Amino acid sequence: MKPLAGILVLALLLAAAPALAQDPPAAAPPAPPRGGRAQVVRPAELASMLDAYAIVQAQTALQLNDYQYGQFVTRLKRLQETRRRNTQARNRLLQQIRALVAPGVAPDEAAIREKLKALRDHDEQTAAALRRDSEALDEVLDARQQALFKLLEERLERQKLDLLMRARDRAARSAPPAKPGGGDR
């Protein structure tokens, strides 16, 4: 059953993210689906697909046995969710700090200090939560599998960044050229 799940996840990734994974065709772009808009993958869906892809890749790279697989998946999902939740919370705090120090805003030293303390506290709590979840995941793996998993995570992160860079470059190439003079008339 696990190989079938891997194939299904891979098929979903390939179907949902072709624009991220391939160079644009030399010919005219394909017509958008009925309704005039291209299909957009929501961030939560993309994160879910990437998480599922990571599980499939880990199963293969780590050669997990049946006993390890269930525990590994549960603990990896917990780690992924902890990362995602804490990244979102940190970004919210940074946005609040950004608003406090924006040009044209009267500085409120007390509010800035309060948000900076909240950010430090959040970072400390996040480090502890990530350490706890990483240790729980490591308990399922032997030392070799732990090392392979760290390398796999690094490779997957590089692949994600590469896909994002290619998507950004592709979007920049397909954007209409800027008008001379810098604006609409």
What domain range includes position 147? 2-19+43-167
48 assigned to some structural domain:
yes
User: How many structural domains are present in the chain?
Assistant: 1
* Chain-centroid distance, C-alpha 86: 13
56 part of a folded domain? yes
Distance between start and end Cα atoms, the chain: 61
CB under 8 A, 24+ apart: contacts of 17-26: 17/41, 17/46, 17/49, 17/163, 19/167, 19/170, 20/163, 20/164, 20/166, 20/167, 21/163, 21/166, 23/166, 23/170, 24/170, 24/173, 24/174
Q: What are phi and psi of 50, to 5 degrees?
A: -65, -40
User: Would you say residue 157 lies in a domain?
Assistant: yes
- Domain assignment present for 35: no
In a domain, 179, yes or no: no
Instruction: Specify the pTM.
Output: 0.68
* 5-20 burial: b if 16+ Cβ within 10 Å, else e: ebeebeeebeebbebb
Instruction: Per residue of the chain (185 residues), give pLDDT as tens.
Output: 444 344 444 444 444 443 333 333 333 444 445 554 556 778 888 888 888 999 999 999 999 999 999 999 999 999 999 999 999 999 999 999 999 999 999 989 999 999 999 999 999 999 999 999 999 999 999 999 999 999 999 999 999 899 889 988 888 888 777 666 655 54
